[in-house]
Amino acid sequence: MEEVIGFGLLALMVITVGLGIKRLFKPKKALFEYEDEIILDEKMLHYGPFSGSFMYPHRKFILLLTVSSSFLSADWDIRTIDGWGIDSYSNENLIMHKTSDSTKSNLYLEMARPFCITSEPTITTPVGNTNYSENDDIKATMTVDRGKPKEILLQIGNILGEGPDIDYVFKLAYFPSFRNGKTFHIKFNNDTRLEDMSFTIEGLSNAMKQSEKMCMSSYDFYKEEMQETSFI
């Protein structure tokens, strides 16, 4: 009888230890399947170069673009088969980006911990023969796939570069959803003298899901000691 009880206690201990080890190494379940399952208050503190406090708009984003040409190391530098880039520039932020069909403009989307929501669509495009200033608002129309053109507003957050290589940094203030789109086209009025822009964004939804998994993981995006700090 004592042997039966002893074997029973031993089996119980083994099962308890096994369950404990399984729970310890079980990966954490993602809190949100899609980034828009949370609606943030507009006054909530944001993280990363594309968001930031509205008291200091675009400051971190401008810093990112300014130093990226010299070398802002990304520990994670991924290119999907749909042509989306997924890069890290800090331990809290991922950037998804895509080059326009003309290769002159670039689209950037940010995903930041802890909420890992895709946000802050930003476009850089050459200044060309225009002469706009920071904080100028420019109206345009945006067409997603073969949908109806929608009026949008782009605000110039900053002007970067020198010589012939000067770009506007556009923040999209109002725009239609393009999460499930394959293409979108931005058309400017003739009097703006800005070039129209077209982007092939097929695979965006999948890139967002993969970025969300990376963002929600416990892995470090970035090692601070690898970052060049000569610009500080």
pLDDT tens sequence across 142-199: 999 999 999 999 999 999 988 888 999 999 988 999 999 999 999 999 999 999 999 9
Distance (Å) of CA 72 to CA 68, 75, 142, 169? 5, 10, 32, 18
Question: Does residue 167 contact residue 100 with C-beta atoms inside 8 Å?
Answer: no
**77 pLDDT band (50/70/90 cuts)?**
confident
Domain boundaries defined on the chain? 35-223
User: Residue 140 is encoded by which pair of tokens?
Assistant: 């345009």
Identify which has the larger pLDDT, 155 or 68.
155
**pLDDT at site 178:** 95
**pLDDT at site 11:** 64
3-state SS class at 137: strand
Omega of the bond leading into 114 within 30 degrees of 0 (cis): yes
Give the type of residue at 97. H
Q: Which residues contact 52 (CB under 8 A, 6 or more apart)?
A: 46, 58, 59, 60, 61
Which of the listed ranges 44-48, 62-66, 179-183 does the model predict with the highest average pLDDT? 179-183
DSSP state letter for 40: -
pLDDT tens sequence across 83-142: 999 988 777 889 999 999 999 999 999 998 888 999 989 999 999 999 999 999 999 999
pTM of the model: 0.66
- Backbone phi and psi for residue 184, each to the nearest 5 degrees, phi listed first: -145, 150
Residue 231 pLDDT > 50: no
Pairing of strands 150-162, 197-200: unpaired
Rounded to whole angstroms, the Cα distance separating 21 from 17 reads 6
User: Residue 151 is encoded by which pair of tokens?
Assistant: 């009026």
User: Residue 208 is encoded by which pair of tokens?
Assistant: 């967002």
202: how many CB neighbours lie within 10 A of its CB?
Answer: 16
- Backbone phi and psi for residue 214, each to the nearest 5 degrees, phi listed first: -65, -45
Distance (Å) of CA 83 to CA 42, 90, 200, 201? 32, 22, 9, 9
Rounded to whole angstroms, the Cα distance separating 200 from 231 reads 34
**CA-angle at 208, arms to 226 and 219, nearest 5°:** 40
Lowest mean pLDDT segment, chosen from 49-53, 62-66, 122-126, 192-196: 49-53
Q: Give me the residue label for tokens 């000067």.
A: 166
Question: Does residue 112 contact residue 51 with C-beta atoms inside 8 Å?
Answer: yes
User: Residue 107 is encoded by which pair of tokens?
Assistant: 């689209």
